[in-house]
Structure 1
Amino acid sequence: MSSPTSAGTPDTGRGSALPGLARTLVYTVRAAFRTDARLALVTLTLAPAAWLDGTLAALFLKFLTDAALAHDGVAVVVAVSTLVVTLAGGWVTASFGRRLQHTLQEKAGVALEDELIQVSAGTPTLQHLERSDYLDRLDPLRKEAWIVHWTLESLAQTLGALAQTVLTIALLASVQPVLALLPVFGIPALLVGRAAALRERDAQEATGELRRRQHHLVTLATNASPGKEVRVFGIGDRLLRLSRETWRVEHARRTRVAWVGAGWQVVASAFFAVGFVGALVVVGNAVAAGLAGVGDLALALVLAATMSGNVGMVVSMFQWLAGCLAVGSRFLWLVDHARDEHRTVGASPATAARVPDRLRDAIELAEVTFTYPGTSRVVLDKVSLRLPAGRVVALVGANGAGKTTLVKLLCGMYAPTSGSIRVDGTDLTEFDLTQWRARCTGAFQDHARFEVTLREAVAIGDLDGGPGERAVADALEAAGAGTLVDVLPNGLSTQLGPTWPGGTDLSGGQWQKVALARGLMRPEPLLTVLDEPTASLDAPTEEALFAGYAAQSGTRGAHAVTLLVSHRFSTVRTADHIVVLAGTGVAEQGSHEELVARGGTYAQLYELQARGYR
């Protein structure tokens, strides 16, 4: 485990820039109105109105003072009544508004989570989930998405603070026109507040990797899966030390920015204090000269003090709004990224080529080169392969040889950097990727553990087909998990996952078999990918399952390609064709017998692994 201070930086830039705050504001406000236009409108109306009671109360206090000095009893009663009504109205408005705002925030939160799932899961490629600099942007969004719900509220409060400031200026000018210049002394505070908010946003993005690392360390210490190794190797104290050090470095960087901003705010506040004192001197002289009354003095004193608070509140509200927009800009960036991916990866449904009902020739890779976005290392270099229709092709090679990357390219999770992938002669980029993936299936080494019922965990593999119980049971049987239904307490209705009431945890091998069964649910795939889905199973079991997959692929009417990916050479010998990846390309390919007779890399590694089972 390396020290957090040694964290590297991406090889290239940080991807597309974050959207501007103004555009983010428009987007989030529109989203709030889409969620509930009535509540959004009420929020934007009541919140600013609640800010005006204090300023209006100061005006009625002036009337009360003048009436009292004039010994006008009726005017005193009117002024007192108006003052009470104003203050009570402000209290009622604020209380009623808070209740409605809470309801709107709750609705907006659900809508945001829905859109986040839709956008993230619907993005064609995996860049935003695998690229480190993109993860630095997504991490605050995952943890602080709730802040976006407050955008409309913070906007309403900011408008309220500004409305109060405008009314205060008008009333001050009615006492002495020169007092209208008092807000000028508050401009530095506004500028400093805006600059501080932008610097804090930049600091948050710059320290994103450190926050992710600290969260990862906490996860290692608090999750059951790594818990065994944490205890066996006695690394609990090491995790604690690294977590503290990571937090210290991240906190120091952000705190440094915050302290600089606070220092400038002190300077700006001192500048405003000069204007405040000057305003009092002007009004005091006017009263002494008989140009203003005692009521005017009372009004000016209250309003000048209110203006001091107003400047601070406007700055605070602006910073709050900027904080909401900083998180919102990450969400809008994800929306933009998804739109760009849809536009540049694959074809639109309206113009896309039709995905064939069955393969007639092959899936071919021609001079395919690939480098992961944001990196400079070439993973695959000018790879050319032919995957014949109706055949089982095995892909073998050492860890890091590019096997999983090749699988991602075939499934359209990434587009080749150069070269092409063709399906019966049609470039994969000419298909609508959603339609292409609807004709793909498979199981993966890093498969998902869907904590739903066993029936649902398997049926997910063919949602469009609406599979019945018989199809689910057949898939489990084909995946070597037929007995699982009998041993689980509620059969197919058993809740999976130990954290749920009545839930049952599965072993690693059982979870993998459920994933395999899921991959068997689609009846007519064009491409079946098995990317080391049986790593937790022993070699004989893996070989038997692969053989079953191979036999089944030959009976499917779509004439599909079945791609078996494994680091176990002995389990893929039944494949029709074997491809050995090494370095960044294809080292050799052929049938098992041909490769063994050739005496190359495959033969050597096959013999080495076979020797371990003798």
Structure 2
Amino acid sequence: MRDHELPGLGRTLAFTFGVAVRSHPGLTLGTLLLVPAGWAVGSLQALWLKHLVDAAVGGTAGAVVLAVSLLAVTNVLGWVAGALGGRMRQTYQEKAGVVLEQRLIETSAGMNGIEHLERADYLDRLDPLRREAWIVHWTFEALAETVGALAQTVLTMVLPASIHPALLLLPAFGVPSVLVARRAAERERVAQERTGEARRRQRHLVNLGSGAASGKELRIFGLGPRLVTLSREAWTGEHADRTHVAWVSAAQKMLATLPMAFGFTGALLLIGYGVVTGHAGVGDLALAVMLAATMSGNLGAVVDMTQWLVGCLAVGSRFLWLHDKAALDVRRHGADQTHAYPVPDRLRSGIALQGLSFGYPGTGRRIFDNVSVDLPAGSVTALVGENGAGKTTLVKLLCGMYVPDSGAVLVDGVDLRRLDLDEWRRRCSGAFQDHAQFELTLREAITVGDLSRLDDDEAATRALAAAGASRLLTTMPHGLDTQLGTTWPGGVALSGGQWQQVALARGLIRQRPLLTVLDEPTSALDAHTEDALFNRYAAAARQRAVDGGITLLVSHRFSTVRAADHIIVLDQGRIVEQGDHASLIREAGRYAEMYQIQADAYGAR
């Protein structure tokens, strides 16, 4: 399935039905029965009213009592169906909503890499899905409501046929409304996807304008009015597009109701003429008048329910699209895991890049072109280079987040694509400059780095010490049980450096990793603290070299990377130099130049 394609109606209905059944089979069946039953009440009331009028005109007391009894029973059943249906719908929506949110997390987080999270076309689809996931659990209810509304409308049109056979043609007058409603809903769905980028931009600007992280810069640079202008421009373009489509749809739906109005007007004239000529009774006219009075509402309900259903199915189809994309991602980027090679318990030769070429999809630009380099087992290797040199991209490739366009990442001589990727990532660890801020307890924010140690206080404390953050624990009011983040009751605000310490501790909690990546993990710390921390970590890593584990450090601070065993200098995706600090200084090349520039800058302070 190509990325731009959405699954068909049949698969989407099957998916939503599966969600409904898994959420609660009993509620699903109850909704399926009670919702249409509630819709049928109106037509039955009109029918019993016809019999009541005929009985009253004919002076038949028994028939009057029967008609009144049927009206009363129908009303009671309608009230019961409404009360039970409302309670069942609320319970079902809560259960189904949880199932859908869990499935969204599972599917999105379960993809092999992160390519999809860095592509605009994917985000344009995912963004409305994040906001509208709750709509999917309404799909089954919308289907039941649509069926009920259609049944009510058909009864409204068919019942007059008992008066005159020509009135069987009435349902045909309602077909245009249903067809137009479906097309209108599809146009509105397409318009929503077409304006996805503008909506994302507008929300991003709102977050910038109201978030704490950007608050200082907004005030220093006086950006508030500019953000308002940009947000208004993004909203205006998106709103104008969707509003135009909505007005066109409304006009078409209004015109599509005219055939039905003409049809029922003709039906009333025909029945009225029958009463005058004696071919129809007064009850028939009462039935027709009551049905005509509800016809507009019924027809509007069919249109609204159909549009609601199509909208729900559109969101459901995005869920399926995400599922299909995840399945395609596994087939395209990973080996058949049933035949995958096991990840070695320890590295013997190390990791090697062999003729590796790579460019981000959709950019048309190569980041790496035929790059080869060895990362020996047990080594501490540093990557240095200017911004945009390809350092973080190389980290993503080593962790299996992306697949090379050509060439390979070899782990002890085995192509990384042939390994069990889940197991490989379990043997990787690391901390990153763009780390996540898990607003959990301090313990959980650290131990999620190794799910087998979620309740291990000793491991969490040891990881904080390894990250040079033991003092952080002493400042927490409830120790490891302290809630992080001020958006939660009793939560504690952390500085940027403290969040980075927590992230580093999280990256160091795993035991015996084969690859540890430290990608600018201490950029918020001062140079002396970072230097001391890395020297301590490098010494510990060398002591663990018996496992062959490789430590990869990415840093702009040359005073820190000089302690590495091996230094790789990247420049525009090419390896221009490599060696240890002393040899690179002697070569007086690019590394020595950058080192001296930074040393002079620090010396001038």
* TM-score normalized with structure 1 length: 0.95
Deviates more, 1:178-187 or 1:440-449: 178-187
Match of 1:200 among 188, 191, 197: 188
- In the other structure, the counterpart of 1:9 is none
CA shift digits 1:332-355 (9 cap, x unpaired): 211111222223322344221110
SS in 1 for 2:71: helix
Offset of residue 323 of structure 1: 1.1
Please state if 1:236 is matched with 2:224. yes
Q: Confirm or deny that 1:15 pairs with 2:3.
A: yes
Residues 123, 338 of structure 1: 8 Å contact kept: yes
Offset of 1:62 from its aligned partner?
A: 0.8
Mapped to 1, the partners of 2:207 and 2:155 lie a distance apart of 52
The reply to whether residue 211 of structure 1 matches residue 199 of structure 2 is yes
- Indicate the larger mover: 555-564 or 18-27: 18-27
CA distance in 1, matches of 2:415, 2:537: 27
Alignment of 1:8-157 (within 5 A): 15-157=3-145
The alignment covers a number of residue pairs equal to: 602
Query: Residues 480-495 of structure 1 correspond to what in structure 2 (within 5 A)?
Result: 480-495=468-483
Corresponding residue for residue 3 of structure 1: none
Q: Give the whole-Å Cα distance in 2 for the aligned partners of 1:273 and 1:371.
A: 61
Report the CA distance between 1:122 and its aligned residue: 1.6
Whole-angstrom CA distance in 1 between matches of 2:272 and 2:293: 15
Distance 1:203 1:14 in 2: 20
Q: What is the RMSD computed on CA atoms of the aligned residues?
A: 1.7
* 8 Å Cα contact 2:448-2:454 kept in structure 1: no
Provide the rounded CA distance (Å) in 2 between the counterparts of 1:179 and 1:380.
74
Q: What pairs up with 1:47-446 in 2 under 5 angstroms?
A: 47-446=35-434
Question: Residue type matched to 1:591 in 2?
Answer: D
Letter aligned with residue 576 of structure 2: A
Do 1:553 and 1:559's aligned partners in 2 also have CA atoms closer than 8 Å? Answer: no
* Paired residue type of 1:146: W
Letter in 2 for 1:563: L
1 CA distance for matches of 2:595 and 2:223?
37
2:367 alignment partner, SS class: strand
Amino acid at match of 1:206: R
TM-score normalised by length of structure 2: 0.96
For residues 561-585 of structure 1, what are the alpha-carbon distances to aligned partners after superposition, in whole Å with 9 as ceiling and x for unaligned?
A: 1110112233211111111111132
Match 1:464 to one of 425, 441, 452: 452
* Structure 2 CA distance for partners of 1:159 and 1:27, relative to 1, 3 Å: same
Q: Percent same amino acid at aligned positions? A: 60
Tell me, in whole angstroms, the C-alpha distance in 2 between the residues paired with 1:438 and 1:445. Answer: 20
Q: Is 2:601 the partner of 1:612? A: yes
C-alpha contact 2:352 2:373 (8 A) present in aligned 1: yes
Give the whole-Å Cα distance in 2 for the aligned partners of 1:137 and 1:57.
46
Matched, 1:603 2:592: yes
When structure 1 is superposed on structure 2, of 90-99 and 297-306 the one drifting more is 297-306
Aligned partners of 1:483, 1:308: CA distance in 2, in Å?
A: 72
Give the match's secondary structure for 2:470.
Answer: coil
In structure 2, the residue matched to 1:594 is: 583
Checking the alignment, whether the CA contact within 8 Å between 1:21 and 1:322 is kept in structure 2 is no
CA apart distance, 1:361: 0.3
CA contact (8 A) 1:279 1:304 kept: no
How far is the alpha carbon of 1:546 from its aligned partner? Answer: 1.8
Match of 1:585 in 2: 574
Question: Is the contact between residue 276 and residue 308 of structure 1 (CA under 8 Å) also seen in structure 2?
Answer: no
Structure 1 residue 530 displacement after superposition: 0.6
For residue 159 of structure 1, report the CA deviation from its aligned partner: 1.0
Q: Which runs of 5+ in 2 are unaligned?
A: none
Cα contact 1:459–1:521 (8 A) shared by 2: yes
The amino acid across from 2:376 in the alignment is P
Shift of 1:465: 4.6
- Aligned to 1:461, the other structure's residue is in SS state coil
Q: Matched residues in 1 for 2:117 and 2:272: separation? A: 64
Q: CA deviation at 1:14?
A: 8.5
The reply to whether residue 475 of structure 1 matches residue 463 of structure 2 is: yes
Structure 1 gaps of 5+ residues are 1-12
- Bigger shift: 490-499 or 250-259? 490-499
For 2:19, the aligned partner's letter is: A
